[in-house]
């Protein structure tokens, strides 16, 4: 299939490469001039969009996604499939579906979980919103870039699932970091805490797979001086999205709000470009 890929950043580049490795002809575009292995790089957005059967976007935020999709809708072939894999607010996702529908295109919101490691390994989970026809067309691409794709509902449902998932992640990472901090204060060895909690009822992804304590558990950004990984700034973005959604819908998410405030303080104090698990350092520095 001929595929355009817009946004070749930390996530987009390895996702585009995996599609190319699977035999698709992938043309990428990114104004930062970055490239991706095996991907043809276009100088303009038009060069990556015209004549493609599918166009995938992996962009920083909702405002950029809306603006880029306005342009894509003008340039794409009638009937082409547009898949936005960025994490954005539900309203932007629905607006983008509307833009695509008006232009006679198929559209899916399909944010991902699994981070840069999952993007490189082709083991992402896709949370998808949109129609069954569009999903069926996108499924072979999701199977290359990921291990699982769940059709969550109509337009915007993928983004709704994503912000709920990442609210759990932000809260659980803070909880795991507080447990290591308490263990330190009680004189409990961090390895002992990990060995017990990772096989007990305290086990969770933030502890077992992405342990925030250096030298403990599987390799994680903590073992690489907290270089992201998943930047604290992006976690703050997602927690803001979940709180905005909670405010609009009237959902009670006290811990989500508290987690948002903790990450806002961390980012403001210089943690912007650090991995979101570096919140452990903030606690232990007290």
What are the residues binding ligand NAD (CB under 6 A)?
6-12, 29-32, 34, 58-60, 64, 68, 86-87, 112, 115-116, 230, 234
Q: How long is the chain?
A: 286
The residue annotated as part of the active site, out of 137, 148, 162, 237, is 162
* Residue among 171, 159, 97 nearest 126 (CA): 159
Residue placing its CB nearer to ligand NAD in the complex, 64 or 188: 64
Residue nearer to ligand NAD on the CB measure, 65 or 193: 65
Contact 205, 118 (CB under 8 A): no
226 token code pair: 């907290």
- Please provide the DSSP assignment of 130-179 as one string: E-HHHHHHHHHHHHHHEEEEEEEESTTHHHHHHHHHHHHHHHHHHHHHHH
Query: Smallest distance from the beta carbon of 205 to ligand NAD, in angstroms?
Result: 13
Query: Given the structure tokens 């981070």, which residue do they identify?
Result: 115
For the record, the structure tokens of 41 come out as: 């790089």
Nearer to ligand NAD, 111 or 179 (CB): 111
SS3 of the chain: helix, strand, coil, percent, to 5: 55, 15, 30
Minimum CB distance to ligand NAD smaller for 193 or for 211: 211
Backbone φ, ψ for residue 56 (5° rounding)? -110, 135
Residue 30 or 109: which CB sits closer to ligand NAD? 30
Shortest spacing between CB 32 and ligand NAD, in angstroms: 3
Catalytic residue check, 162: yes
Token reading at 207: 């502890």
The single residue listed with the structure tokens 């943690």 is 271
Q: Residue 142 in contact with residue 126, Cβ under 8 Å?
A: yes
Q: Which of 26, 107, 36 is nearest to 66 (CA)?
A: 107
> How far apart, in whole angstroms, are the C-alpha atoms of residue 109 and residue 1?
20
Distance of closest approach, residue 141 Cβ to ligand NAD, in angstroms: 16
The residue sitting closest to ligand NAD, measured at its beta carbon, is: 9
Q: How far is Cα 128 from Cα 135, in angstroms, rounded to an integer?
A: 8
CB of 188 to ligand NAD, least distance (A): 31
User: Least separation, in Å, of the C-beta of 71 and ligand NAD?
Assistant: 9
Closest approach, Cβ 124 to ligand NAD, in A, equals 8
- Which of residues 193 and 278 has its CB atom nearest to ligand NAD in the complex? 278
Catalytic residues: 162
């Amino acid at each position: 299939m001929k595929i355009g890929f817009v946004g070749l950043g930390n996530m987009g580049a390895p996702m585009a490469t995996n599609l190319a490795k699977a035999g698709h002809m992938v043309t990428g575009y990114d104004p930062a001039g970055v490239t991706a292995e095996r991907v043809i790089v276009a100088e303009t957005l038009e060069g990556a969009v015209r004549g493609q059967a599918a166009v995938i976007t992996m962009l920083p935020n909702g405002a950029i996604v809306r603006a880029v999709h306005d342009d894509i809708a003008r340039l794409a072939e009638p009937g082409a499939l547009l898949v936005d894999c960025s994490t954005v607010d539900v309203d932007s996702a629905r607006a983008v579906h509307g833009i695509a529908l008006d232009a006679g295109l198929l559209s899916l919101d399909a944010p991902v979980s699994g981070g840069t490691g999952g993007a490189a390994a082709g083991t992402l989970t896709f949370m998808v919103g949109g129609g069954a026809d569009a999903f069926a067309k996108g499924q072979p691409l999701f199977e290359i870039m990921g291990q699982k794709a769940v059709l969550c509902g109509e337009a915007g449902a993928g983004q709704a699932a994503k912000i709920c998932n990442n609210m759990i992640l932000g809260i659980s990472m803070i909880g795991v970091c507080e447990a290591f901090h308490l263990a330190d204060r009680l004189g409990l060895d961090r390895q002992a805490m990990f060995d017990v909690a990772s096989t007990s009822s305290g086990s969770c992804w933030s502890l077992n797979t992405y342990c925030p304590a250096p030298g403990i558990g599987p390799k994680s950004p903590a073992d690489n001086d907290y270089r992201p990984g998943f930047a604290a700034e992006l976690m703050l973005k997602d927690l803001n999205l979940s709180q905005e959604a909670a405010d609009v819908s009237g959902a009670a998410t006290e811990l989500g709000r508290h987690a948002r405030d903790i990450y806002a303080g961390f980012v403001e104090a210089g943690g912007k470009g650090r991995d979101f698990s570096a919140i452990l350092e903030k606690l232990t520095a007290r």
